[in-house]
């Protein structure tokens, strides 16, 4: 039901409008102007503060994510010829240059699409699947849907046999599992099946259950890595917290829980978000830490205290979706706290888009807008999804169409 409190409604609507302005006035124009490679196809992803290309190589995580985002905006923000043209350019670059006959996907190629690097991980393949599934559905390109299912097959095989990705587990390494796997597979199923009730419904249920095994309710934390049997690992990996990642898992799981009516999963999702926001927030300088050690030791990751754009993006989505689901005003106030810190530091009013990497104090540490791991993805996804969730609180049906499609 819509909120009755008029002051609160005004505040929420102002915030929602600010998100849409940022998306359509700053973020989309920056990328549409600077990223397209009109000569060789696909998108440049290494863009300096003013949009200048600082590395012409293409990092395929970002190629896939941009194709997904362009297709999503076409379907859910507004249909635009430029979204379709650019999504097609990226999808065909992926198809023609990035996917190998053995269903593996390069991590990095030259501007022209010649291979530079293969990762010993599954994520290039995952973002390829994400891109192809969304692009295929939005634009009716059946070849892309087929491509998505083929590469998804490899992902499922590689999860069960890490040697396929080229990194065998050595004998002294304790069997373990990472939060990323059930998260990303859940997300890919949502993309492939258009929700959680399609052909992969059983796998989706298994992924949601698996993701929930990383929660430690008595300690109010979400672990990043656990033993293969689900117990704690007594090692730096076992103590590692990645608050932004746990928050992202939270809203993936909340989407699943709402679509399937799974109340217990929804409670876990909300707790994962709340714990990770509390634990991850820097009480001195504000913002979310990148990594923490659960027992308060120093993480080995040198960048642990930095404030990265993407955990803040995930928090904007997660708190907005939690507010939409619960209608509990505390979630809106959490959202405001994250948004105020974020909007005061990450957006670049001079050139558009957001900075990605701030130091612990919140000053810009890397001036570029796009790099090997930052592209046209987390910022526009967060602005779109958070705006939709805040809008849904005000007028329950107005933005519900895409969610409804997903849930059927």
C-alpha torsion 61→66→67→71, nearest 10: 140
Integer Cα distance of 343 and 33 in angstroms: 22
Q: Is 297 in the site for a copy of itself (CB under 8 A)?
A: yes
CB of 387 within 8 A of CB of 20? yes
User: At closest approach, how far in Å is the CB of 277 from a copy of itself?
Assistant: 22
Strand partners for 241: 292
Subset of 90-149 contacting a copy of itself (CB under 8 A): 106, 109-110, 112-118
Determine which residue in the list 29, 146, 156, 235 makes contact with a copy of itself, applying CB under 8 A.
235
Integer Cα distance of 242 and 396 in angstroms: 33
Backbone angles phi, psi at 50, to 5 degrees: -95, 10
Residue number with CB closer to a copy of itself (57 or 149): 57
Give which of 134, 124, 257 is closest to 193, Cα–Cα: 134
User: At closest approach, how far in Å is the CB of 132 from a copy of itself?
Assistant: 22
Residues in the chain, overall count: 408
Q: Is 306 in the site for a copy of itself (CB under 8 A)?
A: yes
Give which of 246, 248, 218 is closest to 232, Cα–Cα: 218
Q: Is 60 in the site for a copy of itself (CB under 8 A)?
A: no
Subset of 159-188 contacting a copy of itself (CB under 8 A): 170-173
Q: Is 348 in the site for a copy of itself (CB under 8 A)?
A: no
Determine which residue in the list 50, 76, 145, 359 makes contact with a copy of itself, applying CB under 8 A.
359
Determine which residue in the list 34, 325, 360, 381 makes contact with a copy of itself, applying CB under 8 A.
360
Determine which residue in the list 123, 365, 400, 406 makes contact with a copy of itself, applying CB under 8 A.
365
Determine which residue in the list 83, 357, 376, 377 makes contact with a copy of itself, applying CB under 8 A.
357
Contacts of 334 (CB under 8 A, 6+ apart): 274, 277, 319, 322
User: At closest approach, how far in Å is the CB of 236 from a copy of itself?
Assistant: 5
Determine which residue in the list 9, 51, 54, 351 makes contact with a copy of itself, applying CB under 8 A.
54
User: At closest approach, how far in Å is the CB of 182 from a copy of itself?
Assistant: 24
Backbone angles phi, psi at 109, to 5 degrees: -130, 165
Backbone angles phi, psi at 88, to 5 degrees: -65, -45
Which range of residues in 88-96, 335-343, 361-369, 382-390 is near a copy of itself by CB under 8 A? 361-369
Query: Residue 261, Cβ neighbours under 10 Å: how many?
Result: 9
Burial of 326 (0-12, 13-18, 19+ CB in 10 A): middle
Residues forming contacts to a copy of itself in the complex (CB under 8 A) are 46, 48, 54-55, 57, 106, 109-110, 112-118, 170-173, 235-236, 297-300, 302-306, 357, 359-360, 365-368, 371-372
């Amino acid at each position: 039901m819509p909120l009755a409190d008029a002051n609160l409604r005004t505040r929420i609507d102002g915030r929602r409008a600010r998100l849409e302005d940022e998306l359509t006035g700053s973020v989309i124009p920056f990328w549409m102007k600077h990223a397209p490679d009109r000569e060789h196809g696909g998108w440049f992803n290494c863009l300096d503060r003013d949009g200048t290309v600082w590395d012409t190589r293409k990092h395929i995580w970002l190629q896939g994510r941009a194709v997904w985002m362009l297709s999503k905006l076409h379907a859910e923000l507004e249909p635009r010829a430029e979204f379709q043209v650019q999504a097609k350019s990226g999808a065909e670059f992926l198809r023609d240059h990035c996917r190998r006959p053995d269903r593996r996907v390069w991590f990095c190629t030259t501007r022209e699409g010649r291979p530079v690097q293969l990762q010993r991980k599954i994520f290039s393949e995952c973002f390829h699947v994400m891109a192809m599934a969304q692009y295929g559905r939005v634009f009716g390109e059946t070849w892309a849907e087929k491509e998505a299912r083929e590469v998804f097959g490899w992902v499922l095989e590689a999860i069960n046999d890490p040697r396929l990705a080229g990194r065998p587990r050595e004998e002294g390494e304790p069997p373990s599992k990472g939060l990323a796997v059930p998260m990303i597979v859940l997300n890919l199923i949502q993309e492939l099946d258009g929700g959680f009730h399609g052909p992969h419904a059983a796998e989706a249920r298994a992924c949601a259950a698996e993701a929930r095994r990383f929660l430690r309710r008595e300690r109010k934390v979400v672990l990043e890595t656990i033993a293969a049997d689900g117990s704690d690992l007594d090692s730096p990996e076992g103590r590692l917290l990645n608050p932004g990642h746990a928050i992202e898992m939270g809203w993936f799981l909340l989407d699943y829980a709402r679509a399937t009516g799974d109340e217990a999963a929804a409670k876990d999702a909300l707790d994962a978000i709340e714990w990770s926001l509390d634990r991850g927030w820097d009480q001195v300088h504000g913002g979310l830490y990148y990594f923490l050690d659960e027992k308060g030791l120093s993480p080995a990751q040198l960048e642990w205290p930095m404030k990265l754009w993407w955990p803040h993006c995930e928090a904007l989505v997660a708190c907005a979706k939690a507010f939409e689901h619960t209608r509990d005003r505390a979630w809106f106030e959490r959202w405001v706290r994250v948004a105020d810190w974020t909007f005061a530091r990450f957006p670049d009013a001079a050139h558009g888009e957001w900075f990605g990497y701030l130091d612990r104090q919140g000053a810009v540490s890397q001036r570029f807008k796009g790099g090997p791991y930052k592209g046209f993805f987390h910022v526009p996804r967060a602005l779109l999804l958070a705006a939709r969730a805040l809008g849904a609180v005000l007028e329950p049906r107005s933005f519900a169409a895409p969610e409804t499609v997903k849930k059927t």
